[in-house]
Amino acid sequence: MMRELCTKLSQIVKETGEMLLSATDVENLGGVSEKGTAANLVTKYDVAVQEQLISEIKKIIPQAVFISEEKENDSSLVKAPYLFIIDPIDGTANFVHDYRHSCISLAMFNEGECVIGVVYDPFQNELFSAVRGGGAFLNGKQVSVTERDVEYGIYTFGSSPYYKNTLGAKSFEIAKCFFDLFGDLRRSGAAALDLAYLAAGRIDLFFELKLSPWDYAAGMLLVEEAGGVISNMKGEPLSFVSTDSVIAATKKSYDAAMRELKMLNFS
């Protein structure tokens, strides 16, 4: 049943992704506005994608409830039987700048447990999906995290650009520490895709000091079903009622990174 539902939800997400592909000159014509800082942008496409996803999901699950980036949210919904956590466009700044590295992220929760995760990058036509207990997939082919040694690995990180004054220096301190540990680093600007790439074996670790549940809900399940480890940076389960730090990795990389964080006295 869940696999069939995941297929239906994946199709909805793919069809909605056409909005991103059809967008032109978003920076000037996309109704771009700021949410508090110049780094935190929203476009008319974010809102349109969100509205279409909610409308289409309600056609197949009328009792569905939603937590989504571009709406007022009620955190008490986390325990609902059909909760969807949505990021209509993860990587909005990339989208505005025509960087072509953005995605739609959708997760379904059942009474507090994530049971379906879908992350779709329309620019690469890559759809990552997972059902609890059923593995992680990329365009229908099962994927898993890598087993490479840490010194040969690549890690990615988010610089917490909405919180530069409070988290900027700490983010780069940790990034420098991990740079000495890993082979190299990347900075992509779309957390959901970073988590999907980890699940697909393309990278070995991702971290960011402050994200919202819609940034990591679907990606969390992808990572877990691909054999990876994900938590907040204290090693605790992720929160879905508030913002949280996130670290996700292969088992080897996670253990090595957590040892480094302990030496940094991270809290």
Quickly state the pLDDT bin for 92 (edges 50, 70, 90).
very high
The answer to which of 93-97, 142-146, 197-201, 203-207 has the lowest mean pLDDT is 93-97
Q: Where is 128: in which H helix or E strand?
A: strand 126-131
Report the share of the chain in percent with pLDDT over 70.
97
Quickly state the pLDDT bin for 36 (edges 50, 70, 90).
low
Quickly state the pLDDT bin for 75 (edges 50, 70, 90).
confident
- CA distances from residue 50 to 57, 71, 92, 93 in whole angstroms, order as listed: 11, 9, 13, 17
Instruction: Indicate whether 18 pLDDT > 60.
Output: yes
Identify whether the C-beta of residue 240 lies closer than 8 Å to the C-beta of residue 109. Answer: yes
What is the b/e burial string over 147-185, where b = at least 16 CB atoms within 10 angstroms of the residue's CB?
Answer: eeebeebbbbbbbbbbbeeebeeebeebbebbeebbeeb
Pairing, β 126-131 against β 113-121: antiparallel
Instruction: Indicate whether 202 pLDDT > 80.
Output: yes
How do the residues of the chain divide into helix, strand and coil, expressed in percent and rounded to 5? Answer: 40, 25, 35
Identify residue 217 by its one-letter amino acid code.
A
Phi-psi map region of 252: left, alpha, beta (phi>0 left; psi -120 to 50 alpha): alpha
Quickly state the pLDDT bin for 39 (edges 50, 70, 90).
low
- Rounded to whole angstroms, how far apart are CA atoms 67 and 224? 22
Q: What is the pTM of this model?
A: 0.95
Quickly state the pLDDT bin for 34 (edges 50, 70, 90).
low
Q: How many CB atoms lie within 10 A of CB 123?
A: 17
- 17-45 mean pLDDT: 80
Quickly state the pLDDT bin for 38 (edges 50, 70, 90).
low
* pLDDT at position 266: 64
* pLDDT at position 77: 85
* pLDDT at position 267: 55
The answer to which of 20-34, 47-61, 228-242 has the lowest mean pLDDT is 20-34
Stronger pLDDT, 40 or 145, i.e. the higher one: 145
| Mean of all residue pLDDT scores within the chain | 93
Instruction: Indicate whether 107 pLDDT > 90.
Output: yes
- Rounded to whole angstroms, how far apart are CA atoms 66 and 27? 28
* pLDDT at position 213: 95
* pLDDT at position 265: 75
